[in-house]
């Protein structure tokens, strides 16, 4: 059974940091893209970062560039999103997702067909 499970969310003050984890089971990451999305109340879901597991190449959306970093640990089948200098506007539910349908898929994937349940990040003083 394919599963993506996010963890690491919580309440943090502005300027603080959090590290989100996306633990993958049911398949190995080896040649997949893993992306982080977020959705704030009343807003559309947006992709914030994506990493190609095969070579570690990645991108980060301009809105979080310089503050968020994506990484992976293949041995642990886990992808991380390090979030620093958090702002109120980073408050959202964060999801990780992957594309298991498209052969040779790379970031940005044409579709994301497996999603985690999400983890809440709240930035508030």
pLDDT bracket for residue 30 (50, 70, 90): confident
Q: Which residue has the higher pLDDT, 101 or 94?
A: 94
pLDDT at 121 over 80: yes
Q: With 0-12 CB in 10 A as exposed, 13-18 as middle and 19+ as buried, what is 27?
A: middle
Write out the two tokens for 110: 């044409």
């Amino acid at each position: 059974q394919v599963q993506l499970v996010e963890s690491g969310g919580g309440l943090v003050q502005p300027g603080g940091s959090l590290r989100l984890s996306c633990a993958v089971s049911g398949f190995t990451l080896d040649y997949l893209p893993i992306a982080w999305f977020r959705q704030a109340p009343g807003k559309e879901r947006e992709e914030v970062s994506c990493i190609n597991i095969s070579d570690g190449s990645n991108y980060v959306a301009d809105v979080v560039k310089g503050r968020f970093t994506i990484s992976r640990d293949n041995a642990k089948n886990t992808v991380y999103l390090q979030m620093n200098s958090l702002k109120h506007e980073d408050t959202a539910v964060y999801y990780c997702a992957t594309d298991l349908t498209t052969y040779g898929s790379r970031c940005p994937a044409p579709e994301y067909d497996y999603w985690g349940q999400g983890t809440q990040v709240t930035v508030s003083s």
